[in-house]
A and B are shown apart, each in its own frame.
Chain A
Amino acid sequence: MSKILEVNNLNISFHTFAGEVKAIRGANFHLNKGETLAIVGESGSGKSVTTKAIMRLLPETNSEIKEGEILFDGKDLTKLSDKQMQSIRGKEISMIFQDPMTSLNPTMTVGKQIMEPIIKHQNMSKSAAKQRAIELLKLVGIPMAEERFKQYPHQFSGGMRQRVVIAIALACNPKVLIADEPTTALDVTIQAQILELMKDLQKKIDTSIIFITHDLGVVANVADRVAVMYGGKIIEIGTVDEIFYNPQHPYTWGLISSMPDLDTAEDELYAIPGSPPDLLNPPKGDAFAPRNEYAMKIDLEQEPPMFKVSDTHYAATWLLHPDAPKVEPPAAVMKRKEMYPGYNNK
């Protein structure tokens, strides 16, 4: 499988009145051609900042890419000029935002908004672009596309608006599509429709997707691989089966245990204690250590490197060090391991 996008040792800081916030502290991952990579983590873990960096949408006034590179098609996106970036953004890499209510322009008809990237990037005539826009509306499942083309965003429901946003993102057949919580603002039934649509379109136009979400159910539904972020780092990455049935990092354990599935009957849900780390003064060792009941002395002193679990599965926790004591993960995780014994050899 060839890599289409590669993020190497990315470090991003924001300069605020209170000091330097180290939002991303050495993130490494890649996106394979044709796959869906889900990035999960709580708010403030750096999911959105990472993808905004890929799109070069971070505010220039107060943010800074301190280190690292983002390789797309052999080019380092962090080094491109604004002009060069404009020919990539929206054409080669495009984005679907979380809130369809605010990401569309309320004063423009949806047709115009879909035509915008087509005219800008593909040098089509207006009438050809219109044809293409109507085609796209049909593709994303909007009935009566010709009439809907002339309507304004407020005439659409939330699910329909998100379909329009997807149509805009797909207008130029992008190689990479970044979806930042595209279904969080939607109802479950609508969410299911949008997820089906995205999977269907992925097959049709052969794009690679980075899918950001905090809903593990959605991850299980769409992802091929999963990256778990915490405190500005990827702390575990692997195929969706590896993350769900053989998680290694205590934070991943916590995430999985704190979500009730439909037959959870225990008296108390597992809750990760405490709150996310303060990235103004990031902790010295493992950022998760203060909330981690399995933390060892070394967790407070030294950051764990990525340990290899399998060819596709890596996790940054000292528990994987050969000298570490064997610990028993929480019950909910053990249950999962049993459900899928193939990964039980550890």
Chain B
Amino acid sequence: METRKKLLEIKNLKQYFNVGKPNEVRAVDGISFDIYEGETLGLVGESGCGKSTTGRTIIRLYDATDGEVLYDGVNVHGKKSKEELKAFNHKMQMIFQDPYASLNPRMKVSDVIAEGIDIHGLAKTKEDRMNKVYELLETVGLNKEHANRYPHEFSGGQRQRIGIARALAVDPDFIIADEPISALDVSIQAQVVNLMKKLQKEKGLTYLFIAHDLSMVKYISDRIGVMYFGKVVELAPADELYNNPKHPYTQSLLSAIPLPDPISERSRKRKTYDPKMHNYQADETVQLREVSPGHFVLCSEKEFEQYKK
């Protein structure tokens, strides 16, 4: 674990909206985790828990209220010149949830994909530019002829492939995928997930995979973070999290996933989670603690002793 290089370090990141007003929202409330090079970190939680906000703050779509995001040791946030920003955007890209809303309907697919290439001046001639587009289309399983069409001519799965091609256009190292498959049909989901896995292998990409479909997250991720009300409550290797969940919220979340297996469904017992059950006292510090190597749980000192057993 220690020998692996940390690509991204997130330190006490906070993202508040409407700061100082009565309707202040603490969407992300002091979270810290690392993402190692070449891995897929899954981030799960129910809607409104702050998982998308986390992704968007990391890539600087929002200015963080507090805390640091270090990419390769360099802070992402804070004042930056245009040049510095460009260099940073080159390395980090995003795939969005809704393939129907994230592609400009008035641009041809070739221009959608080449936008990044143009901005970063990655192609010297027009021919070079188109060749890059064709290559990208092929990488994601579409073909040359698709370059001159408009987004409305494609199905959801194909559009998501275009979104992936756009993200790959600038040759990034790190991709944030914000619920990339939620809007797709089951059979198409598998196609897109396979594509993402293949690309990761070929290009050595690092993913932050945000989703609420837990079985798919388990399948694609090396490690998984569970978020609840703006905080990471548990972070562990994927198998460990599923086989040995410690935090009661993780347990309740896992017990709610319906499995495609009628026999086990008939005997399902769902656990419920009530944050009051922790009964934290004012003098207790509640923080992420490592209960076993690589397995972190948000807990107090007292709970920590229990979880370690």
CB within 8 Å of B: which residues of A?
Answer: 42-43, 158, 187-192, 195-196, 214-221, 223, 240-241, 244-245, 254-256, 258-262, 264, 267-272, 275, 339-340
Q: Which 5 A-B pairs have the closest CB atoms?
A: A217-B258, A271-B190, A216-B260, A187-B46, A192-B256
A259: contacting residue among B194, B215, B252, CB under 8 A: B215
Given contacts A189-B46, A196-B270, A271-B191, contact A258 B260 (CB under 8 A): no
**In the docked arrangement, what's the CA distance between A255 and B158, Å?**
19
A-B contact pairs, 18 of them (CB 8 A): A42-B185, A158-B47, A187-B212, A189-B252, A196-B270, A217-B258, A217-B259, A220-B258, A220-B265, A221-B258, A223-B262, A240-B262, A258-B187, A259-B190, A259-B215, A269-B190, A271-B188, A339-B263
Could you say which residues of chain A place their CB within 8 Å of the CB of B261? 220, 244, 261, 339
CB within 8 Å of A: which residues of B?
Answer: 46-47, 155, 157-158, 185-191, 193-194, 197, 212, 214-216, 218-219, 242, 252-253, 255-265, 268, 270, 273
Is B219's CB under 8 angstroms from A264's CB? Answer: yes
Please name 14 further chain A to chain B contacts, defined as beta carbons within 8 Å, in addition to the given A191-B258, A260-B215, A275-B155, sorted by A numbering: A42-B185, A42-B187, A43-B185, A188-B253, A214-B185, A218-B258, A241-B262, A258-B189, A264-B219, A268-B194, A269-B193, A270-B190, A272-B191, A339-B261
**In the docked arrangement, what's the CA distance between A188 and B259, Å?**
12
Is B215's CB under 8 angstroms from A221's CB? Answer: no
Is B260's CB under 8 angstroms from A220's CB? Answer: yes
In chain B, what residue has the closest Cβ to A239?
B262
Is B263's CB under 8 angstroms from A340's CB? Answer: yes
Given contacts A42-B186, A254-B187, A262-B242, contact A188 B197 (CB under 8 A): no
Is B186's CB under 8 angstroms from A214's CB? Answer: yes
B268: contacting residue among A158, A188, A221, CB under 8 A: A221
Could you say which residues of chain A place their CB within 8 Å of the CB of B155? 275
**In the docked arrangement, what's the CA distance between A100 and B188, Å?**
25
**In the docked arrangement, what's the CA distance between A258 and B185, Å?**
11
Is B253's CB under 8 angstroms from A195's CB? Answer: no
Could you say which residues of chain B place their CB within 8 Å of the CB of A191? 256, 258
B216: contacting residue among A219, A221, A260, CB under 8 A: A260
Is A188's CB under 8 angstroms from B186's CB? Answer: no
Is B257's CB under 8 angstroms from A188's CB? Answer: yes
Is B253's CB under 8 angstroms from A220's CB? Answer: no
Is B256's CB under 8 angstroms from A244's CB? Answer: no
A261: contacting residue among B212, B255, B259, CB under 8 A: B259
Could you say which residues of chain B place their CB within 8 Å of the CB of A259? 186, 190, 215, 260
Could you say which residues of chain A place their CB within 8 Å of the CB of B186? 42, 214-216, 255, 258-259
Could you say which residues of chain B place their CB within 8 Å of the CB of A188? 46, 212, 214, 253, 256-257
In chain A, what residue has the closest Cβ to B215?
A260
Given contacts A192-B270, A196-B270, A269-B194, contact A260 B187 (CB under 8 A): no
**In the docked arrangement, what's the CA distance between A255 and B265, Å?**
18
**In the docked arrangement, what's the CA distance between A154 and B256, Å?**
26
Is B258's CB under 8 angstroms from A189's CB? Answer: no
**In the docked arrangement, what's the CA distance between A158 and B48, Å?**
11
A271: contacting residue among B187, B260, B265, CB under 8 A: B187
**In the docked arrangement, what's the CA distance between A214 and B47, Å?**
20
**In the docked arrangement, what's the CA distance between A271 and B216, Å?**
13
Could you say which residues of chain B place their CB within 8 Å of the CB of A268? 194, 197
Most buried by B among A188, A216, A258: A188
Could you say which residues of chain B place their CB within 8 Å of the CB of A215? 186, 258
Could you say which residues of chain B place their CB within 8 Å of the CB of A219? 260
